[in-house]
């Protein structure tokens, strides 16, 4: 399968191509609410979109939060700058759960709708990013994952969502959620599109001292490992479909091994403790007088002023600030936050030992894309539990990819493949092999030539 981007580069673009692209995109956006802004000035390059928590010079970047309304960064994030310098054209900012706080993409104003059915969620938090890939023929999305924010929407929107090893892509210009977990990645319509963009954005950056310049491997492994605990809460129709996929992989020469790893059941709690602790400190900088919303009543005392500014956070952000502040409190810090950090070390060791000669494989999500109404009715804890499969590789900083393997009742379902740190190319090679057996389906082809 030829990647769409390579085809686009080679093709002669008809006159007025970009004007037509933007007109079509605006029409689709009025129905699906994918973009927070569309760049009407685009006149060349391979179209790329940017999740709203990644800075683009001169374009309002709010992480879909009212707190940051009006914030216009005067600089490009490093991945954005690299794409712009290498033949890509910025097409728009994509909507997301506020600051990345969500599983379904519904924690923001006028949230995105799934291109396979507009009363269904896109998944989150890179909700608009995955939906944009699903509707545009020639395009890649720059997205970000903390606990599954690339894999989940990629699975629900039927596209390839790639989360690289922690540290391989610079986070300079990212509006942080949780520093020890955030990773910038790529969503595309094929493994080749993803690789094309990843090769441009990866690599060290003097502006991000946590970004590493490490050799990236592509060591193929012929063993697929299923951790039984990850399959415990998967819906029956997804399990049946996943079993068929595994049989196909066996026919293609892969061996399959089931493993038990009871400690993985605690990964979700560890993830939410660490991520909320880090989020609660990161959000402290939104004080109402430097970024975004400005509180104009300077007669107020500091505490009152700060409290007034923070009224603009959405309910999920408030909840995470409260919980994150709690787990960092002096009296309980060792019980929650430090314990979670120790647990992460143990999990990384355990996962590294299991995947040293194989790929970890599972459905990406335990459910199909739910209806928006169903997702809105879930309690926060139930909603968090939907991240049980995407959290372990994110907590461990392991590279992973979600790609579609089937369609159930017209909706795509995704499989998640995980490998060792810095073996990222092996994931994209695996997906490329699968693409020889699989036909992607899309309901939209905006920008087709």
Partner 1 sequence: MEDDDFDRLLKTCRIKLEPGERKRIKDETTQIIAYFDTIRDADCDNCLPSYQPIDVPARTRPDKVEGFYDTGKLLGNSKIYRFYIVGPKI
Interactions with partner 1, residue window 237-276 (CB under 8 A) = 263, 265-266, 269-270, 272-273
Residue closer to partner 1 (CB basis): 58 or 410? 58
Asked if 125 is an active-site residue, the reply is yes
Asked if 56 interacts with partner 1 (CB under 8 A), we say: no
Q: Which is nearer to partner 1, 52 or 205 (CB)?
A: 205
Is the bond preceding residue 322 a cis peptide, omega within 30 degrees? no
In terms of CB distance, is 296 or 439 closer to partner 1? 296
Nearest to 196 by CA among 92, 90, 88: 88
**What gap in Å lies between CA 322 and CA 333, rounded to an integer?**
14
Q: How far is the CB of 204 from partner 1 (least distance, A)?
A: 10
H-run or E-run covering 339: helix 337-354
DSSP string over 42-100: --SSEEEEEETTB-BTTB---TT-GGGTT---SS--HHHHHHHTTTEEEEEEE--SGGG
Q: How far is residue 103's CA from residue 152's CA, in Å, rounded to a whole number?
A: 7
Least distance CB 416 / partner 1 (angstroms): 17
Closest CA relative to residue 323, chosen from 101, 69, 62: 101
Contact between 353 and partner 1 by CB under 8 A: the answer reads no
In the list 289, 407, 438, 440, the residue contacting partner 1 (rule: CB under 8 A) is 289
Q: Is the Cβ of residue 336 or residue 411 nearer to partner 1 in the bound state?
A: 336
Within the chain, what is the greatest distance between any pair of CA atoms? 72
- By rule CB under 8 A, what string of x and - marks binding of each residue 9-48 to partner 1? ----------------------------------------
Annotated catalytic residue: which of 61, 64, 125, 190?
125
Question: Is 402 tagged catalytic?
Answer: no
**Residue placing its CB nearer to partner 1 in the complex, 180 or 443:** 180
Give residues with Cβ within 8 angstroms of 363, minimum separation 6. 155, 231, 234, 238, 239, 242, 389, 413, 414, 415, 416
- At which residue do the structure tokens 């491997």 appear? 217
Q: Quick one: DSSP state of residue 317?
A: H
Shortest Å, Cβ 306 to partner 1 = 5
Location of structure tokens 């039927």: 158
CA distance 104 to 191: 24
In angstroms, give the least distance from the CB of 124 to partner 1: 18
CB of 401 to partner 1, least distance (A): 17
383 phi and psi angles, rounded to 5 deg:
-65, -45
Nearer to partner 1, 77 or 140 (CB): 77
Q: Which residues from 200-229 bind partner 1, rule CB under 8 A?
A: 206, 209-210, 212
Q: Which positions from 308 through 337 interact with partner 1, judged by CB under 8 A?
A: 310-311, 313, 315, 318-319, 321-323, 325-327, 329, 335-336
Alpha-carbon Rg of the chain, whole angstroms?
A: 21
Among the listed residues 145, 149, 151, 275, the single catalytic one is: 149
Question: Which residue out of 51, 93, 95, 202 is catalytically annotated?
Answer: 51
CA end-to-end distance (rounded Å), the chain: 18
Candidates 126-134, 184-192, 300-308, 433-441: pick the segment binding partner 1 (CB under 8 A).
300-308
- Binding map of partner 1 across residues 161-200, x = CB under 8 A, - = no contact: ----xxx------------xx-------------------
Q: Between residues 321 and 369, which has the closer beta carbon with respect to partner 1?
A: 321
Cα dihedral 432, 436, 441, 447 in deg (nearest 10): 60
Beta-carbon-side half-sphere exposure of residue 216 (alpha carbons within 13 Å) = 22
Tokens 């060791």 belong to: 349
List the interface residues with partner 1, window 71-130 (CB under 8 A): 71-72, 74-75
Size of the site for partner 1 (CB under 8 A): 75
Site membership for partner 1, residue 354 (CB under 8 A)? no
CB within 8 Å of 284: residues ≥ 6 apart: none
- 368-407 binders of partner 1 (CB under 8 A): 379-381, 384, 395-398
Active-site residue, 51 included: yes
* Segment lying near partner 1 (by CB under 8 A), choices 65-73, 140-148, 241-249, 354-362: 65-73
Question: What's the CA gap between 56 and 88, in Å, rounded?
Answer: 13
Return the number of the residue (57 or 86) whose C-beta is nearest partner 1.
Answer: 57
Residues with catalytic roles: 51, 125, 149
């Amino acid at each position: 399968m030829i990647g769409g981007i390579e085809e686009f580069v080679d093709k002669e673009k008809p006159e007025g191509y970009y004007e037509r692209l933007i007109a079509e995109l605006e029409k689709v956006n009025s129905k699906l609410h994918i973009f927070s802004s569309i760049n009407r000035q685009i006149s060349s390059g391979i179209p790329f979109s940017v999740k709203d928590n990644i800075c683009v010079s001169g374009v309002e970047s709010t992480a879909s939060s009212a707190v940051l309304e009006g914030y216009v960064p005067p600089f490009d994030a490093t991945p954005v700058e690299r794409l712009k310098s290498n033949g890509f054209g910025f097409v728009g900012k994509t909507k997301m759960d506020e600051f990345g706080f969500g599983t379904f993409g519904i924690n923001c104003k006028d949230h995105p709708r799934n291109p396979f059915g507009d009363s269904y969620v896109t998944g989150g938090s890179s909700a608009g990013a995955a939906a944009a890939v699903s509707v545009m023929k020639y395009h890649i999305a720059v997205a970000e994952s903390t606990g599954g924010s690339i894999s989940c929407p990629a699975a629900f929107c039927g596209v390839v969502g790639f989360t690289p090893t922690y540290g391989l892509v610079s986070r300079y210009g990212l509006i942080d959620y949780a520093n020890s977990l955030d990773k910038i990645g790529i969503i595309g319509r094929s493994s080749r599109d993803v690789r094309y963009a990843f090769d441009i954005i990866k690599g060290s950056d003097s502006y991000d001292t946590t970004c590493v310049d490490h050799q990236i491997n592509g060591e193929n492994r012929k063993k697929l490992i299923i951790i039984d605990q990850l399959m415990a809460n998967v819906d029956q129709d997804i399990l049946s479909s996943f079993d068929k996929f595994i049989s196909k992989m066996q026919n293609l020469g892969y061996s399959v091994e089931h493993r038990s790893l009871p400690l993985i059941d605690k990964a979700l709690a560890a993830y939410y403790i660490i991520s909320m602790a880090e989020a609660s400190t990161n959000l402290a900088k939104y004080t109402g007088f430097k970024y975004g919303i400005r509180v104009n009543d300077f007669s107020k005392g500091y505490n009152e002023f700060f409290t007034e500014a923070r009224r603009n956070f959405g309910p999920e952000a408030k909840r995470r600030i409260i919980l994150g502040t709690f787990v960092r409190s002096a009296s309980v810090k060792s019980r929650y936050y430090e314990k979670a950090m120790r647990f992460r070390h143990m999990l990384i060791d355990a996962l590294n030992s299991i995947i040293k000669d194989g790929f970890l494989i599972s459905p990406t999500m335990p459910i199909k894309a739910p209806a928006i109404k169903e997702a809105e009715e879930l309690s926060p804890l139930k909603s968090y539990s939907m991240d049980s499969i995407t959290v372990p590789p994110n907590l461990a900083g392991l590279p992973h990819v979600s790609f579609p393997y089937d369609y159930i009742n017209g909706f795509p379902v995704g499989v998640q493949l995980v490998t060792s740190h810095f073996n990222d190319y092996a994931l994209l090679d695996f997906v490329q092999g699968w693409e020889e057996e699989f036909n992607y389906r899309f309901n939209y082809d905006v920008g087709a030539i």
